[in-house]
Amino acid sequence: MDFATTVLPQPAEMLRRLKSVQDEPHLVEKFYPILMRKGGTRAAGVGINLMFALAISDYSKGMQKEMVLVLYMNVENWIKAIVDDTTVRDEALAAARKAGMIS
């Protein structure tokens, strides 16, 4: 199966866009750098969905479940912020819905 792909923004631009959604200092210092490792790389929608799932898993070790759910509340807006290609964005959002990450 062929998936549409796009190049994610470079790390500095990715950080700017992520912060436009949620500019909480702990996220900026601890969570966004996990995502920014993928800055400038080519990704498909399902890969972007996986990137968020793995980043949240890494970041949230030891957190209360309620705090993890707060992270998932932003996934849709973060995807929209960093994925310019509408086809890839739609595929990422569809994958996130299917995985139960967003509603």
Each domain of the chain, given as residue ranges in start order, spans 5-98
What sign for the dihedral angle of Cα 93, 33, 8, 83?
positive
* pLDDT at residue number 1: 64
Long-range contacts: 92-101, Cβ < 8 Å, 24+? Answer: 92/45, 92/46, 92/48, 92/49, 93/45, 94/45, 95/45, 95/46, 95/48, 95/49, 96/49, 96/52, 99/49, 99/53, 101/49, 101/52, 101/53, 101/72, 101/75
Q: Give the model confidence (pLDDT) of 29-78 as tens digits.
A: 999 999 999 999 999 999 999 999 999 999 999 999 998 999 999 999 99
